[in-house]
């Protein structure tokens, strides 16, 4: 029997043989990307509706970001923080000006920026709030996703994220997401911080009730706990505002950003805060070899520039409202709910219709790349540079798959 082996098969076999099995990707091997499109090794074109979990808000290889990266590659890429570089100050100033914070601490991955925020509010709790040493508590939400470090998975409620990885860092307390009363009841005088995502991304695009975030802010104010918002996924224009917390007029004490800050080119993250919080760090108390390197800083500046100059928040707001409306109009027994904000949209599949995975596979066959999250939810989060025409065209195959 002769078997035809495609390039895709060969590449899948190779990665299957040498890779750890910690992911379950769709069977598509991508070799090129531009804007909202990617091409696989067989030359097939797909609309990217995942955007690398919102790390590609500006689209694949945005020319302004690629240009900035190339120019910086020709000049200087790494100094470590043992020395200064001529890009970091500009990057941090532009980031602070865009977000309204006094200081920023640059890291690489999102998880590192979350860890930075955790260390910051703990130290602030001891030094400024006066919590007895070693007793600080941080309140987090059920169904959270903040990254994959041992400390962070220790306060996850997802068995698959934590089982077998203990013992875990103490000092975290979990309350239901979206329930401000439960949060208020959990706060003690040892609570140094409340860490929350404005909309839970990996948890299945879970939007809390209106007014929730404002009440969380109020509870933090009353109890003297720091509000730490993880906007790694919701931030940088994804939900139709530069940050999702703007929907409720909330300003956190610590804002964590990542993903799209690197423009889909390079890992760039940061924790932002005013001096009261940031100044707890003294030389040697925190750092990263690569954090704030000149290449990251140049890319971060360009990434932020594109988001602001191309008014990606407005685009996400306008297109998101329309697209979500269209998705809600699809008549099908398989969809339980369409929810989200801006272009962060989740389509929850009825349990009786199976999991979201086969729907994502069927979408892939029709040239649309989306990924299931939390078993039942298909996430639609295209690059924010997408046009209404392209989204309108995608509705055809989406209808076909959802209504089948």
Ligand X SMILES: *Cc1c(COP(=O)(O)O)cnc(C)c1O
344 vs 398, beta carbon nearer ligand X: 344
- Of these, 105, 139, 232, 368, which contacts ligand X (CB under 6 A)? 232
Instruction: Among 114, 345, 347, 360, indicate the residue that binds ligand X (CB under 6 A).
Output: 114
75: left (phi over 0), alpha (psi -120 to 50) or beta: alpha
- State the chain's maximal CA–CA distance in angstroms: 75
Query: Sign of the CA dihedral 46, 51, 56, 59?
Result: positive
**Contact region for ligand X (CB under 6 A) — 16-24, 230-238, 310-318, 376-384?**
230-238
Among the residue ranges 140-148, 178-186, 352-360, 368-376, the one whose residues contact ligand X (CB under 6 A): 140-148
Q: Select from 51, 57, 109, 293 the one that contacts ligand X (CB under 6 A).
A: 109
CA distance 1 to 11: 22
Give the residue closest to ligand X by C-beta.
110
- Token pair, residue 344, equals 């962060």
**Residue 235 makes contact with ligand X by CB under 6 A:** no
DSSP code string of 171-194: -EEEE-TT-HHHHHHH--TTEEEE
Binding status of residue 171 toward ligand X by CB under 6 A: no
How many CB atoms lie under 10 A from the CB of residue 46? 21
Region binding ligand X by CB under 6 A among candidate stretches 14-22, 205-213, 225-233, 352-360: 225-233
* Strand positions, DSSP E, 112-258: 137-141, 172-175, 191-196, 226-230, 254-257
Q: Pick the closer one to ligand X by CB: 37 or 53.
A: 53
Nearer to ligand X, 40 or 258 (CB): 258
**How many Cα atoms sit within 13 Å of 52 on the Cβ side?**
24
The verdict on 35 binding ligand X (CB under 6 A) reads no
Judge whether 230 counts as a catalytic residue: yes
- The span from the CA of 197 to the CA of 147, in Å, is 12
Neighbours of 352 (CB within 10 A): 8
Place of tokens 């239901």: 176
CB of 145 to ligand X, least distance (A): 5
Tell me the closest approach of the beta carbon of residue 235 to ligand X, in angstroms: 9
CB 247 within 8 A of CB 217: no
What whole-number distance in Å separates Cα of residue 24 and Cα of residue 67? 33
Rounded to the nearest whole angstrom, what is the least distance from the CB of residue 284 to ligand X in the complex? Answer: 24
Q: Which of 35, 59, 106, 110 binds ligand X (CB under 6 A)?
A: 110
Shortest gap between Cβ of 96 and ligand X (angstroms)? 21
Q: Which residues contact 45 (CB under 8 A, 6 or more apart)?
A: 37, 38, 39, 367
341 binds ligand X (CB under 6 A): no
CB 229 to ligand X: min, Å: 10
Instruction: Tell me which of 230, 253, 310, 348 binds ligand X, using CB under 6 A.
Output: 230
Helix (H, G, I), strand (E, B) or coil at 361: helix
Residues in contact with 240: Cβ distance below 8 Å, sequence separation at least 6, in sequence order: 247, 313, 314, 316, 317, 318, 320, 321, 341, 342, 343
145 counts as catalytic: yes
Catalytic residue among 123, 259, 364, 371: 259
Q: Which is nearer to ligand X, 129 or 146 (CB)?
A: 146
Cα 57-59-64 angle, rounded to 5 deg: 105
Stretch that binds ligand X, among 15-23, 28-36, 110-118, 327-335 (CB under 6 A): 110-118
The residue annotated as part of the active site, out of 40, 48, 230, 253, is 230
Q: Pick the binder of ligand X from 35, 59, 106, 147 (CB under 6 A).
A: 147
Is the separation of the CB atoms in 315 and 384 below 8 Å? yes
- Per the residue annotation, which of 40, 48, 101, 145 is the catalytic one? 145
Using CB under 6 A as the binding rule, whether residue 111 contacts ligand X is answered as yes
161: alpha, beta or left? (left if phi > 0; alpha if psi -120 to 50): alpha
Q: Which of residues 251-280 bind ligand X (CB under 6 A)?
A: 258-259
Stretch that binds ligand X, among 71-79, 130-138, 145-153, 280-288 (CB under 6 A): 145-153
Q: In terms of CB distance, is 147 or 294 closer to ligand X?
A: 147
Per-residue x/- mask for ligand X, residues 187 to 206, rule CB under 6 A? Answer: ----------x---xx----
Structure tokens at 179: 């329930």
Catalytic sites, residue numbers: 145, 230, 259
Contacts with ligand X by CB under 6 A lie at: 53, 109-111, 114, 145-147, 197, 201-202, 230, 232-233, 258-259
């Amino acid at each position: 029997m002769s078997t035809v082996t495609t390039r895709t098969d060969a590449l899948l076999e190779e990665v299957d043989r040498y890779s750890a099995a910690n992911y379950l990707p769709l069977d598509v091997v991508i070799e090129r990307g531009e804007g909202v499109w990617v091409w696989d090794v067989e030359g097939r074109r797909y609309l990217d509706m995942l955007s690398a979990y919102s790390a590609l808000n500006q689209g694949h290889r945005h020319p302004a970001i690629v240009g900035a990266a190339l120019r910086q590659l020709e000049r200087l890429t790494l100094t470590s923080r043992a020395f200064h570089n001529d890009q970091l100050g500009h990057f941090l100033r532009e980031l602070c000006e865009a977000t309204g914070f006094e200081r920023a601490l640059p890291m690489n991955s999102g998880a590192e920026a979350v860890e930075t925020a955790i260390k910051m509010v703990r130290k602030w709790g001891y030094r400024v709030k006066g919590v007895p040493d070693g007793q600080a508590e941080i309140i987090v939400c059920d169904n959270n996703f903040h990254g994959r470090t041992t400390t962070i998975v220790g306060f996850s409620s997802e068995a698959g994220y934590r089982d077998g990885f203990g013992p875990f860092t103490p000092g975290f307390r979990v309350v239901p997401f979206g329930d401000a009363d439960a949060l208020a009841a959990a706060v003690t005088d040892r609570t140094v911080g409340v860490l929350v995502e404005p909309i839970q991304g990996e948890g299945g695009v879970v939007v809390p009730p209106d007014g929730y975030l404002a009440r969380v802010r109020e509870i933090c104010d009353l109890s003297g706990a720091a509000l730490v918002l993880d906007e790694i996924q919701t931030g940088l224009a994804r939900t139709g505002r530069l940050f999702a917390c703007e929907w409720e007029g909330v300003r956190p004490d610590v804002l964590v950003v990542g993903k799209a800050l690197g423009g889909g080119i390079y890992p760039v993250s940061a924790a932002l805060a005013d001096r009261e919080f940031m100044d707890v760090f003294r030389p040697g108390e925190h750092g990263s070899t690569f954090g704030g390197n000149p290449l990251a800083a140049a890319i971060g500046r360009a990434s932020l520039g594109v988001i602001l100059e191309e008014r990606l928040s407005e685009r996400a707001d306008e297109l998101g409202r329309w697209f979500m409306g269209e998705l809600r109009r699809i008549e099908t027994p398989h969809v339980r709910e369409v929810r989200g904000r801006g272009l962060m949209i989740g389509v929850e599949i009825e349990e009786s219709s199976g999991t979201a995975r086969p729907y994502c596979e069927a979408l892939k066959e029709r040239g649309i790349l989306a990924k299931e999250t939390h078993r039942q939810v298909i996430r639609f989060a295209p690059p924010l540079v997408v046009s209404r025409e392209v989204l309108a065209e995608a509705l055809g195959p989406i209808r076909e798959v959802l209504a089948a």
